[in-house]
A and B are shown apart, each in its own frame.
Chain A
Amino acid sequence: EIVMTQSPDTLSVSPGERATLSCRASQSVSSNLAWYQQKPGQAPRLLISGGSTRATGIPARFSGSGSGTEFTLTISSLQSEDFAVYYCQQYISWPPLTFGGGTKVEVK
Protein backbone atom coordinates (compact mmCIF):
# COMPACT_ATOMS: atom_id res chain seq x y z
CA GLU A 1 0.00 0.00 0.00
CA ILE A 2 1.28 3.47 -0.87
CA VAL A 3 1.12 5.78 2.13
CA MET A 4 0.47 9.46 1.49
CA THR A 5 1.70 12.01 4.04
CA GLN A 6 0.64 15.64 3.99
CA SER A 7 2.24 18.56 5.76
CA PRO A 8 1.63 20.67 7.62
CA ASP A 9 -1.51 19.50 9.38
CA THR A 10 -2.67 23.11 9.65
CA LEU A 11 -1.53 26.15 7.70
CA SER A 12 -2.42 29.63 8.93
CA VAL A 13 -2.46 32.15 6.10
CA SER A 14 -3.79 35.67 5.65
CA PRO A 15 -6.15 36.42 2.77
CA GLY A 16 -4.21 37.45 -0.32
CA GLU A 17 -1.11 35.54 0.73
CA ARG A 18 0.34 32.43 -0.90
CA ALA A 19 -0.24 28.98 0.57
CA THR A 20 2.04 26.05 -0.11
CA LEU A 21 0.89 22.55 0.83
CA SER A 22 3.01 19.40 0.61
CA CYS A 23 2.22 15.79 -0.11
CA ARG A 24 4.72 12.94 0.03
CA ALA A 25 4.27 9.39 -1.22
CA SER A 26 5.96 6.39 0.38
CA GLN A 27 7.04 5.28 -3.09
CA SER A 28 6.99 6.84 -6.51
CA VAL A 29 3.55 7.56 -7.96
CA SER A 30 5.00 9.27 -11.04
CA SER A 31 2.43 12.00 -11.80
CA ASN A 32 -0.56 9.93 -10.72
CA LEU A 33 -1.67 12.32 -8.03
CA ALA A 34 -4.87 14.26 -7.43
CA TRP A 35 -5.72 17.12 -5.09
CA TYR A 36 -9.14 17.76 -3.56
CA GLN A 37 -10.64 20.61 -1.58
CA GLN A 38 -13.22 19.95 1.12
CA LYS A 39 -15.25 22.59 2.91
CA PRO A 40 -17.20 21.86 6.12
CA GLY A 41 -20.31 19.81 5.49
CA GLN A 42 -19.48 19.32 1.83
CA ALA A 43 -18.11 16.54 -0.33
CA PRO A 44 -14.56 16.84 -1.61
CA ARG A 45 -14.09 18.65 -4.91
CA LEU A 46 -11.44 17.68 -7.44
CA LEU A 47 -8.92 20.46 -8.00
CA ILE A 48 -6.05 18.81 -9.83
CA SER A 49 -5.20 15.51 -11.46
CA GLY A 50 -2.03 14.27 -13.09
CA GLY A 51 -0.10 16.22 -10.49
CA SER A 52 -0.62 19.53 -12.25
CA THR A 53 -3.73 19.58 -14.48
CA ARG A 54 -6.52 21.74 -13.13
CA ALA A 55 -10.00 20.27 -13.24
CA THR A 56 -12.77 22.03 -15.12
CA GLY A 57 -13.73 25.33 -13.53
CA ILE A 58 -10.81 25.47 -11.07
CA PRO A 59 -9.28 28.96 -10.86
CA ALA A 60 -5.77 29.54 -12.10
CA ARG A 61 -4.60 30.55 -8.62
CA PHE A 62 -4.50 26.81 -7.83
CA SER A 63 -1.44 25.06 -9.19
CA GLY A 64 0.09 21.65 -8.64
CA SER A 65 3.64 20.54 -9.14
CA GLY A 66 5.93 17.63 -8.47
CA SER A 67 6.37 14.04 -9.52
CA GLY A 68 7.67 10.84 -8.04
CA THR A 69 7.29 11.14 -4.28
CA GLU A 70 7.12 14.88 -3.64
CA PHE A 71 4.20 17.10 -4.61
CA THR A 72 3.08 20.64 -3.89
CA LEU A 73 -0.25 22.42 -4.15
CA THR A 74 0.11 26.19 -4.31
CA ILE A 75 -2.67 28.70 -3.90
CA SER A 76 -1.16 31.90 -5.20
CA SER A 77 -3.41 34.44 -3.47
CA LEU A 78 -5.82 33.05 -0.94
CA GLN A 79 -9.44 34.08 -1.30
CA SER A 80 -11.99 33.73 1.48
CA GLU A 81 -13.56 30.73 -0.23
CA ASP A 82 -10.22 28.87 -0.27
CA PHE A 83 -10.09 28.27 3.47
CA ALA A 84 -10.77 24.55 3.64
CA VAL A 85 -9.11 21.15 4.04
CA TYR A 86 -7.03 19.83 1.16
CA TYR A 87 -6.31 16.18 0.43
CA CYS A 88 -3.94 14.47 -1.97
CA GLN A 89 -4.65 11.03 -3.45
CA GLN A 90 -2.51 8.60 -5.39
CA TYR A 91 -3.89 6.42 -8.15
CA ILE A 92 -0.85 4.76 -9.69
CA SER A 93 -1.26 1.54 -7.77
CA TRP A 94 -4.59 0.28 -6.53
CA PRO A 95 -6.27 -1.27 -4.77
CA PRO A 96 -6.11 0.48 -2.50
CA LEU A 97 -6.54 4.07 -3.61
CA THR A 98 -5.03 6.11 -0.80
CA PHE A 99 -5.45 9.64 0.47
CA GLY A 100 -3.23 11.83 2.57
CA GLY A 101 -4.39 12.89 6.00
CA GLY A 102 -5.24 16.39 4.84
CA THR A 103 -4.01 19.94 5.42
CA LYS A 104 -6.35 22.49 6.90
CA VAL A 105 -5.85 26.01 5.58
CA GLU A 106 -7.14 28.49 8.12
CA VAL A 107 -7.30 32.24 8.45
CA LYS A 108 -4.29 33.74 10.19
Chain B
Amino acid sequence: QLQLQESGPGLVKPSETLSLTCSVSGDSIRSANYFWGWIRQPPGKGLEWIGNIYYTGTTYYNPSLESRVTMSVDTSQNHFSLRLSSVTASDTGVYYCARSNNAGWFVSWGQGTLVTVSS
Protein backbone atom coordinates (compact mmCIF):
# COMPACT_ATOMS: atom_id res chain seq x y z
CA GLN B 1 0.00 0.00 0.00
CA LEU B 2 1.46 3.31 -1.09
CA GLN B 3 2.11 5.82 1.66
CA LEU B 4 3.41 9.37 1.38
CA GLN B 5 4.67 11.40 4.31
CA GLU B 6 5.61 15.06 4.25
CA SER B 7 8.30 16.41 6.53
CA GLY B 8 9.99 19.75 7.11
CA PRO B 9 9.91 22.89 9.24
CA GLY B 10 6.50 24.08 10.31
CA LEU B 11 7.65 27.68 10.62
CA VAL B 12 9.58 29.67 8.02
CA LYS B 13 10.58 33.31 8.20
CA PRO B 14 9.52 35.75 5.48
CA SER B 15 11.98 36.01 2.58
CA GLU B 16 13.51 32.64 3.45
CA THR B 17 13.14 29.32 1.65
CA LEU B 18 10.53 26.71 2.48
CA SER B 19 11.88 23.16 2.16
CA LEU B 20 9.80 20.00 2.38
CA THR B 21 10.44 16.35 1.67
CA CYS B 22 7.94 13.64 0.80
CA SER B 23 8.98 10.13 1.76
CA VAL B 24 7.43 7.38 -0.32
CA SER B 25 6.86 3.86 0.98
CA GLY B 26 5.04 0.88 -0.43
CA ASP B 27 6.22 1.47 -3.99
CA SER B 28 9.28 2.66 -5.83
CA ILE B 29 9.49 6.29 -6.80
CA ARG B 30 10.86 4.92 -10.08
CA SER B 31 7.46 3.47 -10.97
CA ALA B 32 6.68 4.26 -14.56
CA ASN B 33 3.61 6.24 -15.56
CA TYR B 34 3.40 8.25 -12.35
CA PHE B 35 4.23 11.79 -11.41
CA TRP B 36 5.00 12.96 -7.90
CA GLY B 37 3.45 16.27 -7.00
CA TRP B 38 2.96 19.04 -4.49
CA ILE B 39 -0.36 20.76 -3.83
CA ARG B 40 -1.00 23.41 -1.20
CA GLN B 41 -4.03 24.79 0.59
CA PRO B 42 -4.10 28.14 2.40
CA PRO B 43 -6.11 28.13 5.62
CA GLY B 44 -9.81 27.91 4.84
CA LYS B 45 -9.24 28.06 1.09
CA GLY B 46 -9.03 25.78 -1.91
CA LEU B 47 -6.35 23.66 -3.52
CA GLU B 48 -3.47 25.02 -5.59
CA TRP B 49 -1.19 22.79 -7.63
CA ILE B 50 2.49 23.66 -7.22
CA GLY B 51 4.20 21.19 -9.52
CA ASN B 52 4.90 17.61 -10.60
CA ILE B 53 8.15 15.72 -11.03
CA TYR B 54 8.91 12.45 -12.78
CA TYR B 55 11.51 10.08 -11.37
CA THR B 56 13.89 11.09 -14.16
CA GLY B 57 13.87 14.62 -12.79
CA THR B 58 11.58 16.12 -15.42
CA THR B 59 9.54 18.86 -13.81
CA TYR B 60 6.35 20.77 -14.52
CA TYR B 61 5.57 23.83 -12.42
CA ASN B 62 2.64 26.12 -11.94
CA PRO B 63 3.56 29.25 -13.93
CA SER B 64 2.32 31.41 -11.05
CA LEU B 65 5.05 29.94 -8.79
CA GLU B 66 7.66 28.84 -11.29
CA SER B 67 10.15 31.58 -10.53
CA ARG B 68 10.34 30.48 -6.88
CA VAL B 69 9.87 26.70 -7.06
CA THR B 70 12.39 23.91 -7.34
CA MET B 71 11.46 20.25 -7.13
CA SER B 72 13.91 17.37 -6.99
CA VAL B 73 13.82 13.61 -6.65
CA ASP B 74 16.18 11.22 -4.86
CA THR B 75 15.57 7.71 -6.16
CA SER B 76 18.11 6.19 -3.76
CA GLN B 77 16.16 7.52 -0.78
CA ASN B 78 12.76 7.03 -2.43
CA HIS B 79 11.74 10.59 -1.73
CA PHE B 80 11.16 13.87 -3.51
CA SER B 81 11.46 17.43 -2.35
CA LEU B 82 10.08 20.94 -2.71
CA ARG B 83 11.87 24.24 -2.27
CA LEU B 84 9.95 27.51 -2.41
CA SER B 85 12.06 30.62 -2.14
CA SER B 86 11.33 34.16 -0.97
CA VAL B 87 8.26 33.15 0.98
CA THR B 88 5.67 35.57 2.30
CA ALA B 89 2.65 35.19 4.56
CA SER B 90 0.58 34.21 1.53
CA ASP B 91 2.61 31.01 1.29
CA THR B 92 1.20 29.85 4.61
CA GLY B 93 -0.89 26.73 4.36
CA VAL B 94 -1.04 22.97 4.35
CA TYR B 95 1.31 21.39 1.84
CA TYR B 96 0.41 17.99 0.44
CA CYS B 97 2.54 15.61 -1.54
CA ALA B 98 0.71 13.26 -3.85
CA ARG B 99 1.09 10.80 -6.70
CA SER B 100 -0.63 11.37 -10.00
CA ASN B 101 -0.87 9.23 -13.07
CA ASN B 102 0.42 10.48 -16.40
CA ALA B 103 -2.91 12.11 -17.15
CA GLY B 104 -2.71 14.31 -14.08
CA TRP B 105 -5.24 13.30 -11.49
CA PHE B 106 -4.12 12.44 -7.96
CA VAL B 107 -4.97 9.07 -6.47
CA SER B 108 -2.69 8.98 -3.45
CA TRP B 109 -2.05 11.83 -1.03
CA GLY B 110 0.06 12.43 2.03
CA GLN B 111 -1.61 13.63 5.19
CA GLY B 112 -0.32 17.17 4.65
CA THR B 113 1.92 19.40 6.70
CA LEU B 114 1.14 22.92 7.90
CA VAL B 115 3.75 25.52 7.07
CA THR B 116 3.42 28.96 8.61
CA VAL B 117 5.39 31.91 7.29
CA SER B 118 5.99 34.35 10.12
CA SER B 119 8.81 36.21 11.77
B-contacting residues of A (Cβ < 8 Å)?
1, 32, 34, 36, 42-46, 49, 55, 87, 89, 91, 94-102
User: Does the CB pair A34–B105 fall under 8 Å?
Assistant: yes
Chain A residue at smallest Cβ distance from B107 = A46
User: Does the CB pair A87–B105 fall under 8 Å?
Assistant: no
A-contacting residues of B (Cβ < 8 Å)?
46-49, 51-52, 60-64, 96, 98, 103-107, 109-112
CB distance from B88 to the nearest CB of A (A): 20
User: Does the CB pair A96–B107 fall under 8 Å?
Assistant: no
Our pick among A43, A46, A55 for the contact of B112 (Cβ within 8 Å) is: A43
A-B contact count (CB 8 A): 60
User: Does the CB pair A87–B46 fall under 8 Å?
Assistant: yes
User: Does the CB pair A87–B62 fall under 8 Å?
Assistant: no
User: Does the CB pair B49–A32 fall under 8 Å?
Assistant: no
Which 4 A-B residue pairings sit nearest by Cβ, starting from the closest?
A: A91-B104, A43-B109, A34-B105, A97-B49
CB distance from A5 to the nearest CB of B (A): 11
SS class of chain A's interface: helix, strand, loop or mixed? loop
26 sample A-B contacts, Cβ–Cβ < 8 Å, listed by A number: A34-B106, A36-B47, A44-B47, A46-B105, A46-B107, A49-B103, A49-B105, A87-B46, A89-B47, A89-B105, A89-B106, A91-B103, A91-B104, A94-B60, A95-B51, A95-B60, A95-B61, A95-B62, A96-B63, A97-B52, A97-B104, A98-B49, A99-B47, A100-B46, A101-B46, A102-B47
